[in-house]
Amino acid sequence: MTTIQLTTKINAPIQIVFDTARDIDLHQKSTASLNEKAIAGVTTGLINEGETVTWKGRYFGFYLTHKTRIIKMELYNYFLDEMEEGKFKSFKHKHYFKEVNGVTIMTDLLQYETPFGIFGKLFDVLTLKKHLTKFLLERNKILTETAEKN
């Protein structure tokens, strides 16, 4: 299993950051270069516990879909999305939020497993982990800019 952990400090109240992090429209804006679109489930606005979203985007030259469900949500502190359908063997993204002196500290903990045995592991080491880290960093950049404007 591969783990990516990122911590982002955002000069905005925790409620704004939390809602911005689960905003489907903002996510689509942050992934525009991949032509990623929400095509089923919640396709606009805020996603909530128990709801799903199916994404379609272009990755490594292929159009792929990825369906996730918000498994657990504790308002303004935490939510977990987990893959229900897609190309990963497993995929969990935990989002943590903590406010300290008016600054929200958002932590992403992404854990996933690739299929295809040794070939999947090699692809992960050579390409996938870097791609997903860049993906999260870009998403968090747009999220930060948006939350700090509100």
For the chain, give every domain's residue range. 2-149
Tell me the pLDDT tens digit for each residue of 82-141: 999 999 999 999 999 999 998 999 999 999 999 999 999 999 999 999 999 999 999 999
Reported as a single tens digit per residue, the pLDDT across 45-70 is 999 999 999 999 988 888 999 999 99
Dihedral angle, C-alpha 11, 12, 18, 24, nearest 10 °: -90
What integer pLDDT is reported at residue 31 of this predicted model?
87
CA 33 vs CA 29, 37, 91, 147: distances in Å = 9, 11, 22, 21
Class of domain 2-149: alpha beta
- Shortest CA distance to 20 belongs to which of 43, 46, 51? 46
